[in-house]
Amino acid sequence: MKADFLSGVIEGFYGPPWTATERSMVLNWMQAFQLNTYLYAPKDDLKQRLLWRVPYTSQETSELKLLIDNCHAHGVRFVFAISPGLDMAYAQASELETLQGRLEQLYELGVRDFAILFDDIPDSMRAEDRRRFGTFALAQSHAANHLYRYLTGRAASRARFFFCPTPYCGRMRRAGLGGERYLEEIGETLDPGIDVFWTGPEIISSQISVKDIESLANTLRRPPLLWDNLHANDYDGQRFYCGPYSGRPLELRSEIQGILHNPNNEALLNFVPWKTLSDFIHAKATWNPRESYLNAMNDWHASFESAGSPIDLEDLVLLGDCFYLPEEEGSEAAQLFRNAEQWLKAPLNKKQVFYRPFQEPATRLRNICAEIVNLENRHLFSALHRKTWDLREEMELLLTFAKQMKSDPTSQLRSDYHLPGTYRGGMVSKLRGLIEQRSDGSFIPVT
């Protein structure tokens, strides 16, 4: 592994930023896992994005200073990101002066590494910007180069500077986001010393191949730096992901500048993702994601002390398999689903035979979801409770259905606890009932 290979965590999600206590825990984990970079870019720090022109107050700089010093104490590189793209006037010199002033404010706090992010912004330009630069790529490259030159002149040693393009995944590039030849122009005009972020073929990429990265590197004229959203959950508050870092071959490491991981919003739920990311980064000749996951779950198990009944490691693995990866369940959860499907589709005279393989893991899963309420670590309980509650309700309903069918196979299922409007209720649930998504990704009206 290259000595300057970047590995670490991005606090870059939509939602409440982490607390000082959570950040300290994250840094302790990073140090233990030998991850070396912390990128500060929370979308809901208004002065990082929406109000980027407004300087931080003395109270805010004091809080940031604590984080910066804590990173350095843990041997972790701190990178401050600013996201001016929502309303930046690229042709106005005063805008660059404002950006430079913000970097200077953070420089005085001890920051030496910075990023400018142009992700998730309107795909349009002001008339004066178009007259001056012609394209988004040239306007953004001009801003990034200006700041990079300022920083390299300011710092005694080479500063690391990072750039997130407007089309930051393959699908966005194919759709022409940012304009024709956007990435080609970035490759041609962005200073060679600036690293460029990329998320893969998708925003949430289940697979990233060496071939795709090699092609991108030729376009960018530099190896990209992965902004990896594999475990991000800010787009779906009902789920979290504790499966292993996977879908990337070990050979990928030699084609990129590093991997920064944009995780679950809930800091406490990232132990397994970061432990397995570390295993991937430091693996030698072979890499087994499932084995890494099971080892990490074994380590995480110590956090699940219960004031009620003990939570077994086997049950925790089953629960984790239900919250594995965005496009994949773990093997035990996948088998449980297959068993449930076979049971429900079986003819009446065979339902009990098919029910038996489902009953035992379903009962275990219902019980561990219920036991989450008794966790001694109440912060972990808070992070998990809303997500495991829905799973518990589904297991309870299926088990109730099975019990009722055993006494009367032809009866309709009813439950005193799952009433219309309170269970699977609300406006979003009603809207989801209007259209159905097929396996190919297309939608059709429900008739």
CATH of the domain at 92: 3.20.20.80
Tell me, yes or no, whether 321 and 262 share the same domain: no
**Is position 303 within any domain?**
no
Residues 36 and 151 in one domain: yes
Identify whether residues 193 and 321 lie together within a single domain: no
Report the pLDDT value the prediction gives residue 1, as an integer from 0 to 100.
64
pLDDT-derived band at 447 (thresholds 50, 70, 90) equals confident
Average pLDDT for 423-447: 88
Task: Indicate whether 3 pLDDT > 80.
Answer: no
Is 302 contained in some domain? no
Structural domain tally of the chain?
Answer: 2
Say what the pLDDT of residue 57 is.
Answer: 97
228, 171: one domain: yes
Q: Is residue 301 part of a domain?
A: no
| Over residues 347-375, mean pLDDT | 94
Catalytic residue IDs = 120
pLDDT above 90 as % of the chain: 85
pLDDT at res. 182: 97
For residues 281 and 424, membership in a common domain is answered with no
Instruction: Give the pair of three-digit tokens for residue 139.
Output: 């306007």
What is the domain range of residue 402? 313-428
- Distance between CA atoms of 369 and 355, rounded to whole angstroms? 21
Average the pLDDT over 117-131 and give the result. 94
17 domain residue, yes or no: yes
443 domain residue, yes or no: no
pLDDT of residue 180: 93
At 402, is the pLDDT very low, low, confident or very high (cuts 50, 70, 90)? Answer: confident
Residues 236 and 319 in one domain: no
Q: Is residue 37 part of a domain?
A: yes
Residue whose token pair is 């992700």:
119
**What gap in Å lies between CA 381 and CA 388, rounded to an integer?**
10
Q: What is the mean pLDDT of residues 312-322?
A: 98
The CATH number assigned to the domain holding 360 equals: 1.20.58.240
Q: Are residues 270 and 339 in the same domain?
A: no
Confidence of residue 223 (pLDDT cuts 50, 70, 90): very high
The pLDDT, as a whole number, for residue 237 is 87
Q: Would 147 be classed as within a structural domain?
A: yes
Instruction: Supply the pLDDT for residue 372.
Output: 97
Q: How far apart are CA 224 and CA 258, in angstroms?
A: 8
| pLDDT at residue 365 in the model | 97
User: What average pLDDT is seen over the chain?
Assistant: 95
Q: Is the pLDDT of residue 431 over 70?
A: yes
Alpha carbon 356 to its chain's center:
37
Q: In this predicted structure, what is the pLDDT of residue 157?
A: 64
Q: Among 49-63, 146-160, 265-279, 403-417, which is the least confidently predicted range?
A: 403-417
Residue 257 lies in a domain: yes
**End-of-domain residue from the set 286, 303, 324:** 286
And the tokens for 190? Answer: 């962005």
pLDDT greater than 70 at residue 368: yes
Q: Mark whether 363 and 275 lie in a shared domain.
A: no
pTM of the predicted structure, to 2 decimals: 0.95
At residue 156, does pLDDT exceed 60?
no
- Does residue 367 share a domain with residue 236? no
Q: What is the pLDDT of residues 285-314, one digit of tens each?
A: 999 999 999 999 999 999 999 999 999 999
Does residue 212 surpass a pLDDT of 70? Answer: yes
